[in-house]
Structures are given as structure tokens and as C-alpha cells.
Structure 1
């Protein structure tokens, strides 16, 4: 499935947000949680970051239909956020009945300086040591996948 320009823009802003300033976070897009060989329902986090022993899970949503879809939100971190377009957030604020996802996650929207701003804080669920180990293993595996893609592309460029 091809990503929309809005999705790519939010991904770029999210990367800038998590990798700016002193002591930036480690992060990876499309992190598959656990090994899903025995489970047909894979749980994929749009972006997972790690900084100072906290995992932050980000789900990128650009339409109301996407936000309300039956696909589960992967809110697995110590802090969980929905990354929304400004237009979608404005539409949600006017709604009388808010989408269910807002009960479980904070909200981030684009800011003028090419990053994001938090407009609704995330709760802080308790993530066990075992779950943190699973998240770390999943993130490392996904980072390796991305490195392999980059390495393969570089090899083909040299040929």
C-alpha cells in the first residue's frame, strides 16, 4: 500500500521530533511486536522510540476512517501517542463523541518548525520488565531489517 503525502510528512516530522535536541531517542518505523509465526494477527507499531528506559509508541493517522478502522492500535509503550494531521485534529475537537482511541493515547500534531507538538498528554501505563524486553527485541529486529534494506540499495548502486 502506497503512503500518502500526509503520512510521509508526519513520518518526517516524527523523526525530526524524536531525533532533535540533546540525547535524542532511538527509533524505528513499522516495528513488528514479537515473532508472529504462530499468530496471524501481527501487531505493528507505526513508530517506536526508546529513550531513558521509556518506550513511546506512535500511531500515525491521517483520516477519521483510518482512526476508526478495525485495525488495532498498537499502544504498547510506556507512553502512547496518535500522530494526526492538524485538519483531522480540528475535526475531532468539534465532534461530540470522540473516537475511542483518544481514551488510550496522547495526541501530537504538526508544528510550524517541521516537528510536532503535543496537544494531549499520554497516560503512563505500567509496562513490565518482560514487555520492555519484548519491545527492545522487536525494535532491534526491525532496525536490522531497515539496515539490510539500506545496505542492499547501496550495494546495487555500486554495481
Structure 2
């Protein structure tokens, strides 16, 4: 599945934002559980920090994407729906139920929080699964990066 330009821009902005926070680390497309099994989920972006808080971000750029059958994986201590400004207006007008999920709006340059995320109590087992998913995603991305370096010769 090909990502839209807007989705890639939001991903890049999340990475840049994470890098600007001392002691904060993040990974794209984090799979929780075994991929291919019926019980796995995938978060668009997950970050954690030195206080051990894990934040999950789901990126949606259209209302149809938001309402699609694709699962929204809100598994972290705090969870966020990240959307462009236009979609945020639609969400607020439609009274879409966020259910404790924070709403972050991307204006093309920076993020603005429209609603706060409620803190969840995740178990140690869930925390371990999330951290394992982050590690796997980081390894996958490192392999992609180093494989491309070999192609430059």
C-alpha cells in the first residue's frame, strides 16, 4: 500500500519532533504481536522516553481513511490521532468520539494539540510487547538504511 504525500510529511514531522526531545525515541510502523497472526496490531508511530512513557500515534489524512475498517491501534500509555487541519475541522464538526485519545493537528509545519490524551494503565506484558515491537521496527529500518548505502556504490 502506497502512502500519500501528506502521510509521509506527518511521519517526517513526528520523527523530527521526537528527535528534538532529549531522551525520546521513536519508530515507524510498529507491529505488536506476530505479523501474519490474527492477533497482531500495527501503530503508525510509537515513541517512548526516559520516564518509560509510551505514546502511540495513528495518522489519518481523510475522513474515509479514519472510518475505514483499518484498525486504530491505541495501545500506549497515551494515544493520539494525528490529522491535517482540514480533517480536524471535519472531526470536530461531526462529533467523532475520540474516547480519551488526544487529537494532534499538523498544519504543514508543526503540531497543535486540540484534545488531551487520557493516561491508560498498561500492563507489564503490554509494555514489553510494545518495546519489542519498537526494537523490531528499529532493526527493520536500520537494515533498510544500510542496504541502501550499499546500493550507492
**Residue number in structure 1 paired with 2:110:** 115
Q: Work out whether 1:55 is the aligned partner of 2:54.
A: yes
Instruction: Give the conservation status (yes or no) of the 8 Å contact 1:68–1:99.
Output: no
Q: Match of 2:152, SS?
A: helix
Runs of 4+ off more than 3 Å: none
The alignment's TM-score, normalised by the length of structure 1, stands at 0.88
Aligned to 1:154: 149
**Equivalents in 2 of 1:85, 1:35: separation in Å?**
31
The one-character-per-residue Cα deviations of 1:31-89 (angstroms, maximum 9, x if unpaired) are 0112235x235311000001120100000000001111111111000000000010000
Separation of aligned partners in 2, 1:148 and 1:18: 21
- Counterpart position of 2:19: 19
The root-mean-square deviation of aligned C-alpha atoms, in Å, is 1.6
- Runs of 5+ in structure 2 lacking a partner? none
Highest RCO, 1 vs 2 (Cα 8 Å, sep ≥ 6): 1
Distance in 1, matches of 2:140 and 2:12, equals 19
Instruction: Name the residue aligned to 2:9.
Output: 9
- Looking at structure 2, the residues matched to 42 and 12 of structure 1 have their Cα atoms a distance apart, in angstroms, of 25
Q: CA deviation at 1:105?
A: 1.0
Query: How many correspondences in the alignment?
Result: 152
Corresponding residue number in structure 2 for 1:69: 68
2:59/2:81 contact within 8 Å kept? yes
* Residue 103, structure 1, aligned to residue 102, structure 2: no
Contact between 1:16 and 1:115, CA under 8 Å: does it hold in 2? no
DSSP 3-state at the match of 2:16: helix
**TM-score, normalised on structure 2?**
0.92
